[in-house]
Structure 1
Amino acid sequence: MEPSSSTKGFFQSPPVIPPQYLEDSSLQRIISLHLPSPIPQSIEEDLSRFSRFVLSKRVLSYVADAERNLPYLQPLTTFGAENKQNPLVTSEGWRALQDIGIKEGIVGLGYEDTNNRWNSRAYQFIKYHLWCGSSALVTCPSAMTDGAASLLGKHLNDVDGAVYADARRRLISRDVDTAWTSGQWMTERKGGSDVRGTETVARKLEGNEKQESDGFDAVGMKLGPWKIDGFKWFSSATDANMTILLAKTGADGKISAFYAPLWRQVKGRSDGEMELNGVRIQRLKNKLGTKPLPTAELELKGMRGYLLGKEGEGVKEISTILNITRMHNIISAVGGWGRGLAISRAFARVRESSGKLLCDTPAHVRRLAQEHVKYRAHMHLAYFVAALLGCSEGHNPSDHSIASSSIIPHDPHQIKALLRVLTPMTKAQTALSSINGLRACMESLGGVGYLENEDPALNIARLFRDANVLAIWEGTTDIMADDLIRAIKRTGHSDVLSALGSWVARAVATGGKIGLNDECQRLKTLWDKLSAELKAKGKEELKWKGRDYLQDLDTLVCGCLLVMDAARDSDETAIEIARRWILGNDSSGQSWRAEADWDKKIVFGGPVVQTKL
């Protein structure tokens, strides 16, 4: 499939990379669906430039440096004193990639569209998608920075609103001299994902005690009136400028949320010397993947911060961040997976086996086609949730083709209900699918795919080990299943299931227009069975089968999205992908040669350009 005239420039790659490297028909469908048509010239030029930049020798050299020179600690000064000034050392490559992400607006884009001319979240995450494979996981602090900016934005009218406004301004800035990144500290040794196990304690300072310990943060804002003591066991973005964290307050020990800068001015010094704000980095974690990302165990002793919202409502406050960070997790999954498939496609065009190119070997292409169908389905799922998030934040999709396709409901209550119930499911299923998909991409390259080589452009092994964190970070699959059931039962299953049922009905009705009657009947049958169980069964039984419901809902929603997307323009490849996703092994009604021809169209689009390696 050739790119449309409005997106053709987007898929051009630098000469040092095979021109097919970023040809991604699934991403092309996403662009045409979620961005205005025609695409504004500024967006098209930005994405076209950035798609080449992420594969440039400069960026890939930063990735190699970040992987080679991992973060480490210098806990002591030359004379043996505790190093409170700068104990964490990160690589030049890591810091350069951080700066690139800031300048490119990987966070800022989500906050720059004040006129609602297009969905800024869609634009942000499409660019984010391109960035994932070349970012060396600076996207992790980006996710928490985005979440913190969203949360602080809800508190600008509070008593300490000026402090929050200055921090938020820095979080969404593209100026590297001004911009901040944020951490998010929830996990503790006792609790893990269960924040009820939080042992960190915060106490509000009063009178003389507060005056004696008052000071200023790194940018001259007064330190907060709360003193925080405790231990955070798994804290990413250790090199951030601020953090959002949870701690217990009051005699009842309820969990509250806090904003705290990571750096403060050393008292009694006039030279601007800085020190950590009551934080001691105990050690860095040794992880399977995400190795350039400094993840640490942190001891908090006298950390100064500000209470966000009301005491005892920390979980409610932090949920704002979780909605954002889970969205970043989702796009990281499909973004990394998409890069792996791009490498597999490029390799198949140039690698010869038994006298034939892999792209001319039907069995090889068949396996690639199976992975591309799964990828297309989860791409639509990911950006559907991204669009719901954008709409929930007040962005108007009226000038998008997505509005005319009826994929997004117009009722704000339905949007909110769908976002709540689909976010945990999408987070869980895209993570698992990308892990399995990248493993398949490694296999498609044979021994080359297994190598931890110095060439980031071809290192699928790196993408695979990094992807494994996505099924754990921000909640494991079982936690997401539990959250799904709570969303249905606690929020009021009639509202959530009614919103989902209405949306499914629209999709099923759409499928008849393009001849997908059997497929849509199967979707309807699946929904009838699923909704009946979710209504009838008790919460504990539903939790026991939680993973099954994640899978069923994934199959259903992805199928509906593929049907509605195909109905936009009756694209024959989109129809075939929808048919294969919904019917699975029952979809074969043609000769194997006809199926093989479809395999090739699904993977490579148009005619295959062949260059032997």
Structure 2
Amino acid sequence: MDDSRHRPQEDPVTHEVTNQVPPLTGHDVSADHALLEGLAREGADWATGELRQLGLLAGSAKAQEWGRLANEHPPVLRTHDRYGNRIDEVEFHPAWHELMAVAVESGAHAAPWTSARPGAHVARAAKFFTWSQVEAGHGCPISMTYAAVAALRHSPSLRAEWEPLLASRTYDFGLRPPQDKRGVLAGMAMTEKQGGSDVRANTTRAEPLGDGSFALTGHKWFNSAPMCDVFLVLAQAPGGLSCFLLPRVLPDGTRNAVRLMRLKDKLGNRSNASAEVEYEGAVAFLVGEEGRGVRTIIEMVNMTRLDCVIGSAAGMRYGLAQALHHARHRTAFGRTLAEQPLMRSVLADLALESEAATTLMTRLAGATDRAIRGDAAEGLFRRAALAAAKYWVCKRAPVHAAEALECLGGNGYVEESQMPRLFRESPLNGIWEGSGNVAALDLMRVLAREPEAVEAFFAEVAAAGDRRVADAAERALKTLAGAGEADARRVAEEMTLVLQASLLVRHAPAAVADAFCASRLSGDWGRAFGTLPPGLDLDAILDRAAPA
């Protein structure tokens, strides 16, 4: 019998696939001139080998697949087990655990706190920058674990108990008594429904239990990374708003009375869990002095704010690398996109923004490292510079991501390119740890209350010894002199730009520094990327920025 009618027919050959860009894989993500030079300059060149190993893994197809899977299979909340017992657990795709294990084993979390080696916090920042480019969502618990140690130093007994576990390079997921674990992760819960950034409006109560612990009753509207082992929480104690350490599992193995109500359905950061929680007499321990909770937890916030800058810089680098790679392989009208004059201007502009963010990030990491080790002058500089950078670098990330995505054309708008994931992620660091207005107003408070921080900041700027930078610094000081609250964003913007210019003049090639000063300081720059003034050495800028 002739059954040809029932056999599948071969599709006709309609075309050959050409002029499609190969995936950017098999490269070293850490092979970024601005990053590696900053690592050495800030005293952590001893970590170059470890960083390069991490960078090669970050550029591998295996790691990129972990990132894709973790994002496409978000966490799931399990409030009860099959028998009806309350468990309040969060399940993750195996790819999430791969990302977390690498981050912890590399020391991108709290490992620097137990290291006596100068530059340890810089090395950690470079690793966080590099590995965040695989998938940004998992950086949240890594960042908070790092930052929690700073707050715990207000309570020596809690620090002695928890710091070794937080700094451990062993990823040990699962809710068990902390004494039975080889490593733990920390989260944070500050904001409530009625208050948001105004944490003094919090209503969660902390009642003394008589044995040195407290019982917390209330809620949190955002509990970042609720699967962690321990959290820093703000609550109203008899003596006022205070900071508490709240473990998920108590020493006797019982679950603390923390109820996960639901997970947030977020725009981005989808691989990471964010929860609404309620406390039903949850046991917690006072960190620092009663009634001084904001002052205590701000130590943690100041560290996570640094990671907001690092995360935004990492996103810019990722977007730039993808845009450059695409432009060098895609042809249009007889030339590659990278040879087209207008596209070259766009790419070079993106490269300037990325290098300025990375250079500033490494400088802030260096200041953090030296301040922790007792350098008071670096601490003063950091207080002003970090507040300004948190505002401006995080504000630049979304527009940078949008332009980088557009460089890929329609391909960049397709989920498979991973550029939509970058775009959705890009606003988050500007919201975390105080949105743009909060960061800018924090800068104004520093400038008003700590004139020595202003002096330290502008002394750093003046170190460039450059007339262009000096003129811009003078304009920034004039803005600052008459500024009120409504001017806080302008102050933060001008201060960050002049600091970035100073750093690039001192540490970047002349082509980069000249282009940044000519565009960002002179006013001879449009309102979109790709509007650089004429006469710049774009070849040098683009060659330096290209992914290796």
- Residues 1:96 and 1:505: Cα distance change in structure 2 (over 3 Å): closer
- Residues 1:481 and 1:608: Cα distance change in structure 2 (over 3 Å): closer
- Residues 1:136 and 1:502: Cα distance change in structure 2 (over 3 Å): closer
Taking the aligned partners of 1:319 and 1:607, their CA distance within structure 2 comes to 38
Q: Write the letter of the residue equivalent to 2:294.
A: V
The answer to whether 1:166 aligns with 2:161 is yes
Deviation at 1:112, TM superposition (A): 4.5
Taking the aligned partners of 1:378 and 1:353, their CA distance within structure 2 comes to 31
Taking the aligned partners of 1:593 and 1:182, their CA distance within structure 2 comes to 44
Contact 2:384–2:446 (Cα < 8 Å) also in 1:
yes
Given the alignment, which residue of 42, 66, 84 partners 1:34? 42
1:218-256 Cα shifts (integer Å, max 9, x gaps): xxxxxx621111101111111000001010011x6x100
Taking the aligned partners of 2:282 and 2:92, their CA distance within structure 1 comes to 23
Query: What SS does structure 1 have at the residue aligned with 2:63?
Result: helix
The answer to whether 1:54 aligns with 2:58 is yes
- Residues 1:531 and 1:128: Cα distance change in structure 2 (over 3 Å): same
- Residues 1:440 and 1:596: Cα distance change in structure 2 (over 3 Å): farther
Taking the aligned partners of 1:331 and 1:255, their CA distance within structure 2 comes to 30
Aligned residue runs from structure 1 range 343-358, under 5 A: 343-358=322-337
- Residues 1:245 and 1:86: Cα distance change in structure 2 (over 3 Å): closer
Query: What SS does structure 1 have at the residue aligned with 2:169?
Result: coil
Q: Write the letter of the residue equivalent to 1:182.
A: A
- Residues 1:560 and 1:572: Cα distance change in structure 2 (over 3 Å): closer
Q: Write the letter of the residue equivalent to 2:330.
A: R
Query: What SS does structure 2 have at the residue aligned with 1:148?
Result: helix
Given the alignment, which residue of 381, 385, 394 partners 2:373? 394
Q: 1:556 is matched with which residue?
A: 498
Deviation at 1:498, TM superposition (A): 2.6
The answer to whether 1:573 aligns with 2:522 is no
Aligned residue runs from structure 1 range 117-266, under 5 A: 119-156=119-156, 161=157, 163-177=158-172, 178-206=182-210, 225-250=213-238, 254-264=240-250
Deviation at 1:77, TM superposition (A): 3.1
Query: What SS does structure 1 have at the residue aligned with 2:137?
Result: coil
1:534-563 Cα shifts (integer Å, max 9, x gaps): 5xxxxxxx1111111111112221122222
Aligned pair count reads 514
Deviation at 1:57, TM superposition (A): 2.5
Query: What SS does structure 1 have at the residue aligned with 2:444?
Result: helix
Taking the aligned partners of 1:606 and 1:147, their CA distance within structure 2 comes to 31
Taking the aligned partners of 1:594 and 1:185, their CA distance within structure 2 comes to 46
1:278-305 Cα shifts (integer Å, max 9, x gaps): 1011011011000111100001011111
Query: What SS does structure 1 have at the residue aligned with 2:360?
Result: helix
- Residues 1:19 and 1:167: Cα distance change in structure 2 (over 3 Å): closer
Contact 1:362–1:596 (Cα < 8 Å) also in 2:
no
Query: What SS does structure 2 have at the residue aligned with 1:203?
Result: strand
Q: Which consecutive unaligned segments of at least 5 residues does structure 2 have?
A: 1-21, 173-181
Given the alignment, which residue of 503, 526, 531 partners 2:475? 526
Q: 1:503 is matched with which residue?
A: 460
Contact 1:23–1:342 (Cα < 8 Å) also in 2:
no
Q: Write the letter of the residue equivalent to 1:481.
A: A
- Residues 1:140 and 1:96: Cα distance change in structure 2 (over 3 Å): same
Q: TM-score, normalised by structure 1?
A: 0.79
Given the alignment, which residue of 466, 471, 474 partners 2:430? 471
The answer to whether 1:364 aligns with 2:302 is no
Contact 1:54–1:131 (Cα < 8 Å) also in 2:
yes
Query: What SS does structure 1 have at the residue aligned with 2:262?
Result: strand
Percent identity (aligned): 25
Q: Write the letter of the residue equivalent to 1:599.
A: L
- Residues 1:55 and 1:545: Cα distance change in structure 2 (over 3 Å): same
Deviation at 1:70, TM superposition (A): 1.3
Q: 2:320 is matched with which residue?
A: 341
Q: 1:400 is matched with which residue?
A: none
Query: What SS does structure 2 have at the residue aligned with 1:306?
Result: strand
Taking the aligned partners of 1:362 and 1:431, their CA distance within structure 2 comes to 29
Q: Which consecutive unaligned segments of at least 5 residues does structure 1 have?
A: 1-13, 211-223, 267-273, 396-411, 512-516, 535-541
Taking the aligned partners of 1:483 and 1:15, their CA distance within structure 2 comes to 42
The answer to whether 1:101 aligns with 2:103 is yes
Given the alignment, which residue of 92, 98, 102 partners 1:90? 92
Taking the aligned partners of 1:189 and 1:107, their CA distance within structure 2 comes to 29
- The RMSD of aligned alpha carbons is 2.7
The answer to whether 1:419 aligns with 2:382 is yes
- Residues 1:308 and 1:146: Cα distance change in structure 2 (over 3 Å): same
Taking the aligned partners of 2:441 and 2:90, their CA distance within structure 1 comes to 37
- Residues 1:275 and 1:358: Cα distance change in structure 2 (over 3 Å): farther
1:144-194 Cα shifts (integer Å, max 9, x gaps): 1111122223422xxxx1x43221111110022411111111010011011
Query: What SS does structure 2 have at the residue aligned with 1:94?
Result: helix
Deviation at 1:44, TM superposition (A): 2.5
- Residues 1:545 and 1:356: Cα distance change in structure 2 (over 3 Å): same
Q: TM-score, normalised by structure 2?
A: 0.87
Taking the aligned partners of 2:95 and 2:28, their CA distance within structure 1 comes to 27
1:376-426 Cα shifts (integer Å, max 9, x gaps): 22222222222211111007xxxxxxxxxxxxxxxx443222211221211
Deviation at 1:265, TM superposition (A): 6.0
- Residues 1:351 and 1:77: Cα distance change in structure 2 (over 3 Å): same
Aligned residue runs from structure 1 range 442-481, under 5 A: 442-453=405-416, 458-481=417-440
Taking the aligned partners of 2:231 and 2:27, their CA distance within structure 1 comes to 41
Q: 1:73 is matched with which residue?
A: 77
